[in-house]
Amino acid sequence: MCRRFALDLDWDAVAGWLGVDAGDVRADRLPPRTFAVEPRQTIALVAQGGDGRRHLTGASWSLVPRWSQTDAPGYPTYNARVESIAYRPTFAESTRSMRAIIPASGYYEFKGRRPFYFHAPDGTPLAMAGLYSWWRPSGSRPWRLTATIVTCPAAEAFAAVHDRMPLLVAPDMAAAWLDRSVDGATLLPRMRESGMALSRGLGFHEVAPLAGDGPRLIAPLERRDPISLF
């Protein structure tokens, strides 16, 4: 389960990487650089608009379905399990036609209270599978973009830290995942297979307890006495 991640990213570079034209980047809505984004804060996502173009913008991290009477449904919606998103009411509509890629420089998982940072060894940003939804409290209020990160069972090497991890979007699945004309439920078997293969290339290390912000949060923890992960 991903509930904290890092956004040490250049948005122009992200736009180029994910095929977003410069005119379709909403820089005013994108989050500032951070190493400790949390649920309900602003994250970035790339999604296909009704115009068929890819857009990079900000969204609130915790999906609120369009039909919800409140922006706090009473259960966590910052993650969505890939096994159930196609039929769970909170996520089913988004799975059909409102899917996104959520970029990150890395993410944290916890073993008890011990945080570990997962990232690509070469520093390449991660493309996490996401879902989005537009929500507003009443007809007179503006719409708000909300999103969730799709999770899957952890790859074997990482399960000792946590049994879940974000579902990564492989490059050859990105176009289909973002295509609103494709029912996302039909993509899930291939997404899970390709995402699992991609995730095996990640590296991870233990970090100090998360407090505040800054690049020190992702620095490997130095211990005087070795401690076993298992």
3-state secondary structure 161-221: CCCEEECECCHHHHHHHHCCCCCHHHCHHHHHHHHHHHHCCCEEEECCCCCCCCHHHHCCC
CA 87 to CA 94: how far, in whole Å? 10
Q: What is the pLDDT of residue 224?
A: 47
Locus of tokens 């407090």: 211
Query: Residue 82: which region, alpha, beta or left (left: phi > 0; alpha: psi -120 to 50)?
Result: alpha
Spans of the chain, pLDDT less than 50: 224-227, 230
Query: What domains can be seen in the chain, in order of their start residue?
Result: 4-106+126-200 (3.90.1680.10)
Instruction: Give the closest residue to 37 by CA, choosing from 214, 216, 219.
Output: 214
φ, ψ (nearest 5 deg) of residue 91: -115, -10
H helices, E strands: number in the chain:
4, 12
Pairing of strands 144-153, 164-166: antiparallel
In Å, what is the CA distance from 123 to each residue of 65, 104, 201, 203, 225? Answer: 34, 11, 12, 10, 28
Please provide the size of the chain in residues.
Answer: 230
Q: What is the pLDDT of residue 157?
A: 86
Q: What is the pLDDT of residue 140?
A: 79
Give the predicted TM-score (pTM) of the model. 0.95
Tokens of 61: 């991290």
